[in-house]
Structure 1
């Protein structure tokens, strides 16, 4: 495996299924040019259908204005590797971005498939590229299966998904893991350097009324969009989980790439359950090393939540 390049800004590919919190996460990334150089965004099935996640990717880039200049959208997998597709429209709305006055995409998606873009980019920049998937891992798994040579060339994968404990789509499984458990199994077994930012930490990072008000007080289009999206999200989370607002799942994964020190990490072996039944999609995390198996991921087990939100607010505040 090549040494991991740590010179800033880190070249990154944002892979996801926007989706409310994906959009906020990508705005955080685009507002952080000193830390991250966004090479492109790749879309996948998940929160809503692929045609909608792709349009939403374009909308998010348009919200970022000049910060997204030159960043292309690459369309990826429209379904999981094996299981039927899931959506989370009940959480993210039918469109995936339930806010008024959002801009139209400024450019059409690229002709190159997302998986081909990932493979080509990683090969061209060995040891440099970090992948930040915030949805099902289908695109990443397909890239690793089609081009196994890229596994040692990827600097790191920082994934929002899974949990050391509870699920959210089922009692056992977090949505991104459940939406394509076979893809997650491929990625966790690939040997690629991997960080997992799961529900056990993201449910501690909640955008309640004060945080939504702070985003709105930025007085920018991006800040207002984040506030409106997170207001919709908060209503869902109050009804479903009794929380004061929506959890900032995907933004925390982007923050983990920018500032890994904002989270506490533990190396552990993680297996993904692919057998149909009550536990399908569960990320089985060996917290105490009882299996004796080598770690397959650095798993987030704690977060400095106030510092994380300060970072999010400051970076989104740079956007128009």
Structure 2
């Protein structure tokens, strides 16, 4: 059973206070770090929230978005992976299924003019053969569910439909002002909706951490392999460029961009085997289903949320998102120094490098000794 919005999970110590002669638990500490984690969840996509929990960040809820696949499929993956490790006390709130403007047809028309992306996410043409083989759905009816893709097991429960992901974000930053990190490793649609719903939302959050926002990688896209080009394509921002611009120009106290740096650290078979040396449902799923050809994308952003000191090279830049549909850079970012920046944009923290050994150690520990709901009471 999911806890209602008004009763978030309690982690760590409870500080009592006395009311009417009875000791009552205090539900918040001024120094407590909370997070809402928004992602295009999938079978092996649980590592970011395990990293957060392992770092003593209380995950108030997961949000689902459309990026690699459609949001309804993503939400069920979130529920299923939480169930796999006895973490169903963390609620899942469905996000927006559709981007603000973009559609598969519009995206594919843009590709006709400006060239195909090696990875098109949810906007790839529908392929029933691949779906039958266990791939998540693309294009077509966004509400269809492909059960064959749930290698983690099809969920017994459902997302919490009491409110939307965007509304949940707004409610939580008002409840815990200055304490809630907004983590986004998929499309930024839900974050943009929250920004537009409530003019205080961004300023009341602790920070925004995103996976995405690549800079100066066009030559790698042109001269390397298709896989290398795939690693440099900014699908999280490109699925919904308009939302990306709204979110990344909002007045969050801090915005951290894990773009280029998210391509720095890769897993290996040796690492996967080492993780499995401490067997549990998550280490088994990671070992069996994490694609070792891709870097620790979402995990890098989650680790930076937990421990910003993991960054060993970073800078402050002014950032804008190209929202011109006629541009070959539609959905990509452009950075400026302050003296040359156009109006309407803001400074962000752009991370270039992280401590790879510390990152891998965080991931390994989170997978080998995952928190469960029993630990979060």
| TM-score, L = length of structure 1 | 0.84
Residue of structure 2 in register with 1:35 after alignment: 56
CA–CA separation in structure 1 for the residues paired with 2:275 and 2:242: 37
- Deviation at residue 147 of structure 1 after TM alignment: 1.0
CA–CA separation in structure 1 for the residues paired with 2:243 and 2:70: 18
CA–CA separation in structure 1 for the residues paired with 2:305 and 2:231: 28
The structure that has the greater radius of gyration is 2
Map Cα deviations across residues 235-293 of structure 1 (whole Å, 9 max, x no partner).
xxxxxxxxxx321100111100111111132111111011123111111123x656256
1:82 aligns with 2:143: no
CA–CA separation in structure 1 for the residues paired with 2:351 and 2:338: 16
Residue 185 of structure 2 is aligned with which of 102, 127, 134?
Answer: 134
CA–CA separation in structure 1 for the residues paired with 2:148 and 2:47: 13
Residue of structure 2 in register with 1:58 after alignment: 79
1:273 aligns with 2:273: no
Residue of structure 2 in register with 1:23 after alignment: 46
Map Cα deviations across residues 173-194 of structure 1 (whole Å, 9 max, x no partner).
4110111111110011112121
SS for the counterpart of 1:284 is strand
Question: 2:47 touches 2:366 (CA, 8 Å); kept in 1?
Answer: no
Residue 196 of structure 1 is aligned with which of 241, 244, 257?
Answer: 257
Residue of structure 1 in register with 2:236 after alignment: 176
Unaligned runs of 5+ in 2: 1-27, 108-119, 125-129, 138-146, 222-228, 373-377
Question: 2:33 touches 2:180 (CA, 8 Å); kept in 1?
Answer: yes
Residue 301 of structure 2 is aligned with which of 226, 229, 253?
Answer: 253
1:217 aligns with 2:258: no
SS for the counterpart of 1:105 is coil
Question: 1:99 touches 1:229 (CA, 8 Å); kept in 2?
Answer: no
- Deviation at residue 296 of structure 1 after TM alignment: 2.1
CA–CA separation in structure 1 for the residues paired with 2:268 and 2:323: 35
Question: 1:21 touches 1:251 (CA, 8 Å); kept in 2?
Answer: no
- Deviation at residue 109 of structure 1 after TM alignment: 1.1
Unaligned runs of 5+ in 1: 235-244
- Deviation at residue 63 of structure 1 after TM alignment: 2.4
Question: 1:28 touches 1:251 (CA, 8 Å); kept in 2?
Answer: yes
- Deviation at residue 314 of structure 1 after TM alignment: 0.7
CA–CA separation in structure 1 for the residues paired with 2:52 and 2:73: 21
- Deviation at residue 216 of structure 1 after TM alignment: 2.2
Residue of structure 1 in register with 2:174 after alignment: 123
- Deviation at residue 228 of structure 1 after TM alignment: 1.6
Q: Which moved more, 1:13-22 or 1:40-49?
A: 13-22
C-alpha distance 101-52 of structure 1, shift in aligned 2 (>3 A): closer
- Deviation at residue 22 of structure 1 after TM alignment: 3.4
**How many residues matched?**
298
| TM-score, L = length of structure 2 | 0.72
Q: Which moved more, 1:82-91 or 1:218-227?
A: 82-91
Residue 94 of structure 1 is aligned with which of 130, 135, 144?
Answer: 135
Question: 1:173 touches 1:281 (CA, 8 Å); kept in 2?
Answer: no
